[in-house]
């Protein structure tokens, strides 16, 4: 049974940093694309950052470029999202998603896929002004 568990969320002041983790069990990450998504109250879920099975291929939505960094440690079966210079508009529940690699999948496409794949339960990030 595949299970994803996010952690690392919390309350932080504007300009602060958080590091989210997504620990996977029931599979190995080697052949999976991984994405971080977020959903703020009253808003649709959006893709924040996605990374391919080749660590060199990453995608970031414009609003987080230069502030967030996605990474993966396949040996630990864990994915990370380092979030710096946080802003109040980053406040949301953050989810990780795994999707098995197929030829047509790209990191940008994955970050547009808000249904399907494997999802964690989410972790709350709140940025105060």
Whether 78 and 86 have beta carbons less than 8 Å apart is answered as no
Residues 53-112 have pLDDT tens digits of 877 789 999 999 999 999 999 999 999 999 999 999 999 999 999 999 888 899 999 999
SS3 107: helix
Instruction: State the Cα–Cα distance between residues 109 and 114, nearest whole angstrom.
Output: 10
Q: Please tell me the predicted confidence (pLDDT) of residue 53.
A: 86
Q: Which secondary structure element, helix H or strand E, spans residue 108, and what is its range?
A: helix 107-110
Q: Tell me if 50 sits within 8 A of 100, measured CB to CB.
A: no
Q: Distance between CA atoms of 46 and 60, rounded to whole angstroms?
A: 11
């Amino acid at each position: 049974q595949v299970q994803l568990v996010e952690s690392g969320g919390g309350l932080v002041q504007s300009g602060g940093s958080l590091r989210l983790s997504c620990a996977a069990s029931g599979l190995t990450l080697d052949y999976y694309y991984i994405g971080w998504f977020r959903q703020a109250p009253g808003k649709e879920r959006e893709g924040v950052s996605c990374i391919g099975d080749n660590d060199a291929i990453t995608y970031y939505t414009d609003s987080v470029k230069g502030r967030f960094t996605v990474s993966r440690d396949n040996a630990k079966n864990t994915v990370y999202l380092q979030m710096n210079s946080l802003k109040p508009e980053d406040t949301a529940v953050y989810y990780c998603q795994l999707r098995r690699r197929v030829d047509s999948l790209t990191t940008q496409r994955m970050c547009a896929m808000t249904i399907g794949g494997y999802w964690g339960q989410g972790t709350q990030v709140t940025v105060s002004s």
